[in-house]
A = this chain, B = another copy of it.
Amino acid sequence: MDIRIELTKNPKVKPTDESKLGFGGVFTDHMFLMNYTEGKGWHDPRIVPYGPIPMDPSCMVFHYAQEIFEGMKAYRTQDDTIQLFRPQENFKRLNNSCERMVIPKLDEDFLLEALKKLVEVEKDWVPHQKDTSLYIRPFIIASDAVLGVHPAKTYIYAVILSPSGPYYKGGLNPVKIYVETKYVRAVRGGMGMVKTGGNYAASLIAQEEASREGYSQVLWLDGVERKYVEEVGAMNVFFVIGDEIVTPALTGSILPGITRKSVVEMLKEWGYNVNERRLSVEELEAAAASGQLKEAFGTGTAAVISPIGELKCNGKVTVINNNEIGPISQKLYDHLTGIQWGRLPDTHGWIVKCC
């Protein structure tokens, strides 16, 4: 498919002070759009000026949340190359999300080609300062203007771009996490393993209540027994217990993070004893009590590695590693960000150059 390009006649002023960049509030001049119509398939791929999409008020996405998304970044290296980190994995996950949410799948190679073209058009929007990046948000919404509960016959695939500042303004810093015992995000048989709006909608109230208590995110437990650790807000989670590194297994209610996958692969390469298995809060608390819980950290595109300094569960506070960044967290952070921003060689073939 040929990608039609219509350049803006009114380019925006780019953020002049990159040190003030936040997350997800500023968008570039253009976006990528493509439509699906039953019988016709995905068609009319185009790069057009960023702007509002007129939506009929009856559109399915407003009522039944048939919608999915992805999140990744473009990084500017010191020699001014723009590069992506494992984007094929994001498009593979997008297609998995399509399958669960009954959305017609897309050609992953074409999506990557289209993304590279869009990033090339917007290359001056990729910020320059350390730890800044261009956040990439592909998403699909059901656009049928009809109120029946069934999969739509028309969809919009869009990619929007947002120049973003460092996740940690003051450098890598341990966070306080609230173990959620009242609300549930997802359950096996549900849709927790895909990136769809409803999972995030379900999480808002818990995040609100936790942040009112001074906790930055919640750690979800499984929906069945409410005993086993699942994931944190927009991150997967790892615990260093004795000489084992544990991350919850992908049992169907957890998002298979691309950072998680990369971390598991790196730790194995480095000879660590990493296991994907069930991990109960009870086991965690026992490990903390006996001094065996040495480190904990979240992994995700936004923060890369997020050391966890404190867990609160049922009123009980567990401080981890004296609320300091642990050696494994630091090493992973340095290596992953090193590869992403091109300061370290890409020995895994994880990097895709854009321009």
Seen from chain A, the residues whose Cβ lies within 8 Å of a Cβ on chain B are 23-25, 27, 31, 50-58, 61-67, 69, 100-102, 135, 137, 139, 141, 145-151, 158, 160, 162, 182-191, 196-205, 207-208, 223-224, 226, 233-234
B208 engages A202 (CB within 8 Å)? no
User: Which of B62, B101, B197, B205 is the one whose CB lies under 8 Å from A205?
Assistant: B101
User: Which of B55, B197, B205 is the one whose CB lies under 8 Å from A201?
Assistant: B197
Distance to closest chain B CB from A54 (angstroms): 4
**Which residues of B are found within 8 Å of A150, using beta-carbon distances?**
204, 207-208
This chain: copies in complex? 2
Distance to closest chain B CB from A138 (angstroms): 11
A223 engages B158 (CB within 8 Å)? no
Residue of A58, A158, A187, A201 ringed by the most chain B CB atoms within 10 A = A201
The 10 closest A-B pairs by CB, nearest first: A198-B198, A65-B197, A24-B147, A184-B189, A52-B54, A64-B200, A65-B65, A65-B201, A187-B187, A187-B223
B184 engages A190 (CB within 8 Å)? yes
Distance to closest chain B CB from A182 (angstroms): 6
**Which residues of B are found within 8 Å of A69, using beta-carbon distances?**
62-63
**Contacts A148-B24, A189-B184, A207-B150 hold; do A57 and B63 have CB atoms under 8 A apart?**
no
B182 engages A189 (CB within 8 Å)? yes
B102 engages A200 (CB within 8 Å)? no
**Which residues of B are found within 8 Å of A184, using beta-carbon distances?**
187-190
